[in-house]
Amino acid sequence: MESVVNMTSGILPDAPFWRGKRVLLTGHTGFKGAWLALWLQRMGAQVTGLALAPATQPALFDLACVAQGMDSQLADIRDAAAVATVVRAAQPEVVLHLAAQALVRPGYAAPLETFATNVMGTAHLLDALRGQPSVRVAVVVTTDKVYRNREWVYPYREDDPLGGHDPYSASKAAAELVAASYRDSFLAVQGVAVATARAGNVIGGGDWAQDRLLPDAVRAWQQGATLHIRHPQATRPWQHVLEPLAAYLRLAEVLWQHPQRAGAYNFGPLPHEAATVKNVVEMASMAYKSSAVSYQNNSVNPHEAHWLALETAHARSTLCVQPRWPLATAVARTLAWYRAQQQGADTLALCYADIDAYIDPLAQP
């Protein structure tokens, strides 16, 4: 793989690059999408969002008044005509595709909806970009779970086989193939650089989804209840939500200048920093005086990968993307966010404070 830079500090998103850029962001009402919309707004981008209404109550999108700084279009990514209408109206220069059914267990409960959203939704968006002269870059966000997981201890690389045991993972692996096909068949010759971004488990304030570790912990502990853990020894490449978002932005910037670098990229912590669910729970419980935990027998739960880590050398060398916050910092900032928000702090201010701290290399949790 081509080596472009060799820096240890990493490169942050370039605010002047984004100032005035027309950006189409799908999934902007979700957890990651709302954070990314706020970051883009703060850098001066002209953001159009395409998503369903927020799926949780409360929702970061509502509490942080994300819609006030952008053109928020509520539409279903499964509706090809609606997607095409939004794309034509937005005339985007950069497309960041985050809209998805993003959870493993709901994928088991509604597999057809999961495949329709993650596979055909991606196809609808990329097809709508055909013939759109404004578009230069499209970043399709998938997941670390796209790989054929053989429970090996080595981290997966971008050229390892794709797979997916459960419907969510399989649908995201299929989305990778859809993105590659549209890039090779249509969009590359049109001058659109299409890349896929594979990131791991993210944490951060403002996530209220079910079946996510820290949101489940916060819900339980705020009520004085016990947190029940299904897979305490499951190992994941955990990272704060701002880490992959910074990587997506940086990837788009590089593709704007160097479209030949389009392809697949892993984003996450260094492989040796992958941690078990139990490790993360122990870090989180240190922030709460009352934080009871029950570790369960996972044999009665649907299949989930036990070990999963990503090799991120390609992103580090090609994009100069480096993790900035170690896991302990990410967990501490996440729990501090939830505690402050519960105590009445302004949600938007909390998000901007985390973004500012992430940009500042001297920031402390």
**Mean pLDDT of the 73-92 span:** 98
CATH code for the domain of 182: 3.40.50.720
233 falls within a domain: yes
Structure confidence at residue 305 (pLDDT): 63
Per-residue pLDDT reduced to its tens digit, 12-43: 999 999 999 999 999 999 999 999 999 999 99
* Residue 114 neighbours by CB distance under 10 Å: 25
Domain count within the chain: 1
Residue 301 has pLDDT above 70, yes or no: no
270 falls within a domain: yes
Per-residue pLDDT reduced to its tens digit, 224-238: 999 999 889 888 889
Structure confidence at residue 299 (pLDDT): 55
Which domain covers residue 53, as residue numbers? 16-355
Structure confidence at residue 304 (pLDDT): 64
5 falls within a domain: no
Residue of higher predicted confidence among 117 and 212: 117
Structure confidence at residue 4 (pLDDT): 36
Structure confidence at residue 300 (pLDDT): 58
293 falls within a domain: yes
**Is residue 111 reached through a cis peptide bond, with omega within 30 degrees of 0 on the bond before it?**
no
Residue 297 pLDDT level (bands cut at 50, 70, 90): low
Residue 151 pLDDT level (bands cut at 50, 70, 90): confident
d(CA 195, CA 180): 8
Share of the chain above pLDDT 90, in %: 81
150 falls within a domain: yes
State the average pLDDT for the chain: 92
Residue 51 pLDDT level (bands cut at 50, 70, 90): very high
**Mean pLDDT of the 330-348 span:** 96
338 falls within a domain: yes
Residue 192 has pLDDT above 90, yes or no: yes
Structure confidence at residue 5 (pLDDT): 35
Residue 306 has pLDDT above 80, yes or no: no
User: Model's pTM, two decimal places?
Assistant: 0.94
9 falls within a domain: no
Residue 241 has pLDDT above 80, yes or no: yes
362 falls within a domain: no
